[in-house]
Homo-oligomer: A and B are copies of this chain.
Amino acid sequence: MDQAKGPRKGRVIGKTNDVNADLIAVVVAVNDAGPCVLTIEEGAALPSGPFELAHRSLQSGLRAWVELQTGQPLGYIEQLYTFADRDRIGANERVISISYLALTREEDAGASGRRSWASWYDYFPWEDHRSGRPPMLEELWPRLIEWADGADDAATRFDRRRRAAVAFGLDDRAWNEELTLQRYELLYEAALVEEAKRGGDSAILAPVPGRSMSADHRRILATAIARLRSKIKYRPVVFELMPPLFTLLQLQRTVEALSGRLINKPNFRRLIEQQELVEKTGATTAETGGRPAQLYRFHHAILDERPVAGTKLPLARA
């Protein structure tokens, strides 16, 4: 800091502090196959593009890029995080990345160009606990131990073991579905994901299962998953992912797909109904065999009266 003093007058003339601002979108939808993310380049990258003078706002710039690259119009949008301390710091140029989370219904499958929907769990196989603890975690654990024990001093070894145990729910610790980002970062630090090796560093270990993405897009996806898993617990954002009419079980399956864990059915119904988040339409559907189910729609008016106190979900603690 060799600047002249002064709050905003201190900008040195002639020296440019210009940066490029990139907009990156994590567009999420849920279908029968599970939670999906909108990608380009056959699943290798997220839709993104530079923020330009023509854009009225960050959000409209994002919408423009996503629609151009994938044909997908966006509804609900929420800012995720702004990064700048990335590796790609060029000589005299810096890039700021502003990432967004978008929720949509995967309609408009106008097959425009190189868009494709990919399952979350292709990138993070260890995150799906709907069928119980994924077996691959058993193979992951010794590799984390190996990394932890590779530290020089005992304190670091202990700390690494503890962090791994907390993040992955080991040693009688409960699995916490919101730690998606911490888990990915731990694997990155342990050089167990492909992205960690791009710097030419430690090219020995084979990465763990799970598809990688270009740049830090997989990390951004992990951020989005963590944010969404947290948010569905206190805001009624799930409905952005639902069709206009749905059964309570469909709603439950959507929440389960997002959170990666199963929910107790009666409790889920009770909570949804007593919060007046949905209203009956009277219509029923006879699909999927069994007794026909009531079709519900989202009770929009509740958003007006309760702008904050949102959805509580019975995601069991232990």
Interface positions of A (Cβ within 8 A of B):
1, 3, 5, 7-8, 10-11, 16-21, 40-41, 45, 47-54, 56-59, 64, 67-69, 79, 81-85, 92, 94, 96, 98, 113, 162, 166, 176, 178-179, 182, 304-305, 307-308
Contact = CB atoms under 8 A, between A and B. Distances in A.
Contacts of A40: 7
B85 A58 contact: yes
Given A7-B41, A8-B48, A8-B49, A82 B68 contact: no
A199 B49 CA distance: 32
B179 A21 contact: no
A176 B68 CA distance: 41
Contacts of A21: 17, 19, 21, 84, 96
A58 B64 CA distance: 26
A308 to B, nearest CB: 6
Nearest to A173: B305
Contacts of A307: 166, 179, 182
Q: Which of A18, A45, A182, A304 has the most CB of B within 10 A?
A: A18
A179 B19 contact: no
5 contacts: A11-B50, A17-B51, A57-B85, A82-B98, A166-B307
A40 B92 CA distance: 31
B47 A7 contact: yes
A236 to B, nearest CB: 16
Contacts of A54: 1
Contacts of A52: 17
A204 B16 CA distance: 41
Given A17-B20, A21-B84, 15 more contacts: A5-B113, A7-B47, A11-B50, A17-B51, A18-B20, A19-B19, A19-B20, A19-B21, A51-B96, A57-B85, A58-B84, A79-B81, A96-B96, A162-B304, A182-B307
Q: Which of A51, A64, A67 has the most CB of B within 10 A?
A: A51
Given A58-B84, A176-B308, A68 B98 contact: no
Contacts of A304: 162, 166
